[in-house]
Structure 1
Amino acid sequence: MRFRIPNLVAGIVLAGGGSRRMGDDKCMLDLGGRTLLQRAVDALDAVADEVVTVTRPGRPPPLVQSPGSLYHAVDSIADAGPLVGILAGLEATSAPVAIAVACDLPFVQPDLLRLLLDRASEGARFVVPVHEGQPQLLCSAWRGEAAPLLRARVEAGARAVHAMLDALDAELVPPEVWRDADPEGRSFVNVNTPEDLAEARASLGASRGA
């Protein structure tokens, strides 16, 4: 597949969640010899020129490695959901287009990210894939010009995802469009609980043994 990728792309890693169901800081949990956070950074490095890690207030910059420029931003409002983290990432970069990925999506496929960036390059402020009938905000592409509109809504307390989709005139990407980039939908495997982590480790081991 061939994609049109903007000249400067920022990757945003959302690492500000509370990890309540995991019982530990899930971003630093090991999966296949890499932390979940490092896996997210690595996926973004495949498509982005710079990466911004976004954490909750009071947390130091995480220890990760990246061949490109690496920055750190902090949620302006603690425990206010992923939109606040995306906003912090957008405001920390001057890149015209950004791709946001949550650290608990350990199998994000770079070709899916390229597809979302391709759609964003056509002018949509916000591009989000749809999986199992739900928009996947935790793996989405944004144009920098959306930041002021997003901030206005966040400060007004309007943080519902579906309302944001309408307000920002989001482009929804259905499975029939993104399936070639990620045939099994692996990008949307979410690790939120110890059981999820065990399944992800088993899946990774099975794929290596195949």
Structure 2
Amino acid sequence: MTAIILAGGKSRRMGFNKAFLPYGDKTFIEHQIARLNKIFDEIILSANDARLYAHLNLPIVSDILPERGPLSGICAGLIRSTSFHSFVIACDMPFIHEKIILYLREQIGGYDVVVPQTSRGLEPLHAFYSRNCIQPMYRCLNEGRLRIIDFFSEVKVKIVDEQEFKELDVPTQPLVNLNTPEEYQKYCDYKAPNQRES
């Protein structure tokens, strides 16, 4: 199965590229790659400036349509993916927890989207998507409907409430994304239980 890291955002609120923020002895994106390599057979980067990420030695795709936000990056990644289902994660979510990802993967069944829901709402940048999503996504992009969830009504979606993660005995920080320097400062010292050895 494939993981797609979205690294094409402009990081306006953070002020600089979030993918290269230090987290421990690695950058955010290096940390994600190391963790995702334990779970997935393939990792794809969705980024519009391939030169910045060439040193990571991963396949890189640019947005299927420019200036259309993360939905365009997800669509491009799904087209490039060799798997029917792919896990999508934003580069500003460094607190990867394998148990949560594996639990979400177990819920796929006949669904096209498996997405967590927290008190903040749906977390579509930490979710699984199938290739059945490509055409609905593309229609939304062409119509200017750019929210990731805009195509959900056209596919089979399973929402996994964060309460279910309590049975896994894991924290909810893996679903946090960092958008501002203040958020980065607040969470940069956090390490999930399965991350403390690295």
Q: 2:85 aligns with which of 94, 97, 101?
A: 97
Partner residue of 2:140 out of 153, 162, 175: 153
Q: Tell me how far 1:64 sits from its aligned partner.
A: 5.4
Q: How many Å separate the matches in 1 of 2:112 and 2:144?
A: 20
Question: Which has the larger displacement, 36-45 or 95-104?
Answer: 36-45
User: What is the one-letter code of the residue matched to 1:137?
Assistant: P
Check if 1:81 corresponds to 2:69.
Answer: yes
Letter in 2 for 1:191: L
Distance 2:26 2:79 in 1: 28
Match of 1:14 among 2, 6, 30: 6
SS at match of 1:62: helix
Question: Structure 1 residue 50: deviation in Å?
Answer: 0.3
In the TM superposition, residue 201 of structure 1 has moved relative to its aligned partner by 2.3
The amino acid of 1:34's aligned partner reads: K
Alignment partners' CA distance in 1, 2:169 and 2:136: 31
Q: TM-score, normalised by structure 2?
A: 0.88
Q: Structure 2: how far apart are the matches of 1:182 and 1:54?
A: 31
> 1:150: how far off?
1.8
Report 1:103-182 matches (<5 A): 103-120=91-108, 122-181=109-168
Q: Percent identity?
A: 25
CA contact (8 A) 2:65 2:141 kept: no
Q: Cα offset for 1:167?
A: 2.4
- Post-superposition offset of 1:72: 0.8
Q: CA deviation at 1:43?
A: 2.7
1:149 to partner: Cα distance = 2.3
Change (3 A) 1:93 1:75: same
Tell me what 2:47 maps to: 55
Out of 138-147 and 160-169, give the one that drifted further: 160-169
Residue 175 of structure 2 corresponds to residue 188 of structure 1: yes
Q: Which secondary structure does the structure 1 equivalent of 2:146 belong to?
A: coil
Q: C-alpha deviations, 1:68-114, integer Å up to 9, x for none?
A: xx311111334422211111110111211100010100102111111
Post-superposition Cα deviations, 1:142-182, rounded to whole Å, max 9, x if no partner, equal 11222222222222222234432222231111122233346
Equivalent position SS for 1:111: helix
Q: Is the 8 A contact 1:99 1:142 kept in 2?
A: yes
Q: Is the 8 A contact 1:12 1:52 kept in 2?
A: yes
Please report how far the alpha carbon of residue 129 of structure 1 lies from its aligned counterpart in structure 2 after TM superposition: 0.3
Q: What value does the CA root-mean-square deviation take over the aligned residues?
A: 2.2
- 2:51 partner SS: coil
C-alpha displacement at 1:39, in angstroms? 1.8
Counterpart for residue 30 of structure 1: 22
Q: Given the superposition, is the C-alpha separation of residues 83 and 160 from structure 1 closer, same or farther in structure 2, using an over 3 Å criterion?
A: same
Count the aligned residue pairs. Answer: 194
Question: Is the Cα contact below 8 Å between 2:136 and 2:151 reproduced in 1?
Answer: no
Question: Do the aligned partners of 1:125 and 1:143 also contact (CA within 8 Å) in 2?
Answer: yes
Change (3 A) 1:202 1:90: same
